[in-house]
C-alpha cells in the first residue's frame, strides 16, 4: 500500500468534512484488514513463569426473566499471547503501558524476513547484516517506522514445544527455551542509526530463548521503543507499506498488556 494512500485514510484533514467522510469511506472499502493478534484462551502461550489465561463463567444461560445472558471473569499475566512490552518493563522511568503515545503505536510497517535462517537455527540472532541486506534492496528503513522481524515461528503457534523449544512450566523451564530473536548488537545499531517507533516479532520475546541478561530489551526500552511479541500472521504482510494500529489494554502503570494489533493494506 502506498504511504500517501495510508495517510489519506488516517489524516484526511485538508478537505471538507463531507469530502473527508466520502474519501475515507472509499479508501477503507478498497483496503484489506489483517489481524495480527492471536486469540486468548487456555491454549495461549505464556512465559514459563507467568500465569496463563483463565476464563471463568459468571453466567451463561437463560435468566429468570426469560432472555439469554452470558458474562465471564478472566485472569492473565500482562505478558502472554500477542502483547505489548512497555519500555518500563526493562527501563526504569520509561513509558508504562498507559503512557505510550498513540502515534508510537500506529504507523507504517516494514517486515524483514529472516525465516530462511531462523527456521534452521532455533537460537538464531537477527543481526545488523540482516537489516543491511534488506536495505540494499529496499532502501534505508524510513524514520518513525514500526519494524517487524519475521522468523517463521508463527507457523508453530500455539504448540509451545515447537514455538518456545519447551512446553515445560516453572523457573527451571526457562533454561530450556530455544527460539530466535534480535541480537543486542542489532538493537544497539538500530537505536544509534535509525529512528524506529516500535519493534515486533512472531516469537515470545525480543531476546532469544537462551538469553540470560535480556540486553535487547534493555537497549530498546531505554530509548522508549516498545516491543510487540507473539505477533500473528506476519507472513500476510507486505515487506513495506502496510499501516499498523497496535492498541494495548490501557493498564495504568503496566509493564505490558494484551495487544490487539491490526494492519491495513491495499490488497
Percent helix / strand / coil, the chain, rounded to 5: 30, 25, 45
Q: Is 48 exposed, middle or buried (0-12, 13-18, 19+ CB in 10 A)?
A: buried
Whether the link from the prior residue into 235 is cis, omega within 30° of 0, is no
Q: For the chain, list the domains and their CATH numbers.
A: 1-30 (no CATH), 31-50+78-265 (3.50.30.50)
* pTM, full prediction: 0.90
Residue 16 banded pLDDT, cuts 50, 70, 90: very low
pLDDT for the residue numbered 4: 47
pLDDT for the residue numbered 15: 45
Query: Contact 53/46 with Cβ under 8 angstroms?
Result: yes
- Backbone dihedral angles phi then psi of residue 213, each to the nearest 5 degrees: -115, -5
Mean pLDDT of the chain: 92
Q: What percent of the chain stands above pLDDT 70?
A: 89
Q: What are the residue numbers of the active site?
A: 89
Instruction: Show the DSSP H helices in 119-243 as ranges.
Output: 128-138, 160-164, 184-193, 215-222
Tens of pLDDT along 27-80? 666 789 999 999 999 999 999 999 999 999 999 999 999 999 999 999 999 999
Q: Is the pLDDT of residue 151 over 90?
A: yes
Query: Contact 76/54 with Cβ under 8 angstroms?
Result: yes
pLDDT for the residue numbered 266: 82
Tens of pLDDT along 171-221? 999 999 999 999 999 999 999 999 999 999 999 999 999 999 999 999 999
Amino acid at each position: 500500500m502506498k504511504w500517501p494512500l495510508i495517510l489519506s485514510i488516517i489524516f484526511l484533514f485538508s478537505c471538507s468534512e463531507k469530502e473527508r467522510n466520502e474519501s475515507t469511506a472509499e479508501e477503507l472499502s478498497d483496503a484489506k484488514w489483517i489481524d495480527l493478534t492471536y486469540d486468548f484462551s487456555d491454549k495461549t502461550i505464556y512465559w514459563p513463569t507467568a500465569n496463563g489465561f483463565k476464563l471463568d463463567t459468571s453466567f451463561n444461560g437463560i435468566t429468570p426473566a426469560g432472555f439469554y445472558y452470558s458474562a465471564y471473569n478472566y485472569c492473565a499475566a500482562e505478558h502472554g499471547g500477542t502483547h505489548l512490552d512497555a519500555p518500563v518493563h526493562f527501563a526504569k522511568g520509561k513509558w508504562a503501558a498507559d503512557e505510550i503515545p498513540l502515534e508510537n503505536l500506529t504507523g507504517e510497517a516494514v517486515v524483514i524476513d529472516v525465516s530462511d535462517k531462523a527456521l534452521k537455527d532455533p537460537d538464531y540472532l537477527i543481526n545488523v547484516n540482516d537489516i543491511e541486506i534488506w536495505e540494499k534492496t529496499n532502501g534505508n528503513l524510513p524514520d518513525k517506522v514500526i519494524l517487524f522481524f519475521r522468523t517463521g515461528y508463527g507457523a508453530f503457534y500455539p504448540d509451545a514445544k515447537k514455538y518456545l523449544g519447551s512446553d515445560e512450566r516453572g523457573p527451571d523451564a526457562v533454561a530450556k527455551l530455544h527460539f530466535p530473536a534480535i541480537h543486542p548488537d542489532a538493537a544497539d545499531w538500530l537505536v544509534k542509526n535509525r529512528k524506529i517507533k516500535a519493534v515486533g516479532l512472531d516469537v515470545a520475546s525480543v531476546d532469544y530463548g537462551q538469553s540470560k541478561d535480556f540486553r535487547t530489551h534493555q537497549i530498546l526500552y531505554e530509548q522508549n521503543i516498545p516491543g510487540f511479541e507473539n505477533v500473528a500472521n506476519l507472513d500476510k504482510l507486505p515487506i513495506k507499506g502496510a499501516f499498523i494500529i497496535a492498541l494495548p489494554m490501557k493498564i495504568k502503570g503496566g509493564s505490558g498488556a494484551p495487544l490487539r494489533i491490526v494492519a491495513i493494506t491495499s490488497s
